[in-house]
Amino acid sequence: MAGDVTIETERLVLREFRRDDRESVHKYAVDPEVYHYMPWGPNSEDETSAFVERAIASRHRDPRLHFELAITLRETGRLIGGSGIRAAEESFRTADMGYCLRRDAWGKGLATEAAAGLIGFGFEQLRVHRIWATCDTRNVRSARVLEKAGMELEGTMRDDTWLRGQWRSSRLYSIIESESSQGKAPGQAGSGETRDRASSWGAPRKESRP
Ligand SMILES: CC(C)(COP(=O)(O)OP(=O)(O)OC[C@H]1O[C@@H](n2cnc3c(N)ncnc32)[C@H](O)[C@@H]1OP(=O)(O)O)[C@@H](O)C(=O)NCCC(=O)NCCS
């Protein structure tokens, strides 16, 4: 299913990337604190441009399974990060998600709000049954975000990713649709205002998977 997507939360609008977002994306894509646990970065300008172009192109896939969305502030429209949710083959009814924020936006609960918005979109619009996410075992902030968004820790995947010359281990989190409808995912109310059903994380990835 192709189509533009907008996810609105209390303070955020997650929207499709545009070509004029390139500069804002590049600012966080070269920040070592932002890309430290990510599979991309530091990005060259070409890599950031290629990311934005891929995100734009993904809108035209049908069925659309991959939703790479800019995180913007509802009040000012400022782009503060990227997020994404990617459904597996439609019949599998699972999706994975991720997010990153520029550093000056950290510590205000915004990533948790974005994560809750993605979860709402995944269950209500993509109609998936299970949503999962991983984070580096050292990435305590992201682990906290996933917990606050209502996800449950399934375990640790030991040395699952080769990143910048070393193996990293990841924590695996998930949430099941029944847990979401029981209100396990806080902040989800008002999160699923989408213009279309759709189906990546505002992250200028060099690789196709985090
Ligand atoms: C991870 C990230 C998205 C968090 O964004 P954020 O908006 O600051 O997250 P929130 O404010 O919603 O929540 C952060 C939580 O981590 C906690 N935290 C912050 N620093 C911490 C630390 N050093 N140790 C433990 N917890 C910490 C905060 O207190 C908060 O929890 P609380 O609400 O219970 O107090 C942001 O730091 C980021 O973009 N990092 C770089 C990219 C990245 O790592 N993305 C995730 C990949 S899996």
Domain boundaries, the chain: 6-181
Residue of minimum CA distance from atom 45 in ligand 1: 100
> How far, in Å, is the centroid of ligand 1 from the Cα of 100?
10
- pLDDT at site 41: 96
> How far, in Å, is the centroid of ligand 1 from the Cα of 62?
34
Ligand 1, CB within 6 Å, residue ranges: 34, 37-38, 98-101, 106-112, 135, 139-142, 144-145, 148
Rg (CA), the chain: 16
What are the tokens at 13? 């609008």
- Residue 121 CA: distances (Å) to CA of 5, 6, 46, 150: 10, 9, 31, 14
Taking only the tens place, the pLDDT of each residue in 59-106 is 988 889 999 999 999 999 999 999 999 999 878 899 999 999 999 999
> How far, in Å, is the centroid of ligand 1 from the Cα of 27?
19
pTM greater than 0.75: yes
- pLDDT at site 106: 98
**The pLDDT of residue 198 is above 60:** no
Taking only the tens place, the pLDDT of each residue in 115-142 is 999 999 999 999 999 999 999 999 999 9
6-181 adopts what CATH topology?
Aminopeptidase (3.40.630)
**The pLDDT of residue 201 is above 70:** no
What is the rounded average pLDDT of the residues 17-32?
A: 98
State phi, psi for 58 to the nearest 5 degrees.
-65, -20
Q: Determine the Cα–Cα distance for residues 167 and 59; give it in Å rounded to an integer.
A: 33
Which residue from 83, 144, 188 has its CB within 8 A of the most atoms of ligand 1, so it is best to mutate?
144
Q: Determine the Cα–Cα distance for residues 208 and 177; give it in Å rounded to an integer.
A: 26
What is the rounded average pLDDT of the residues 169-185?
A: 87
- pLDDT at site 89: 84
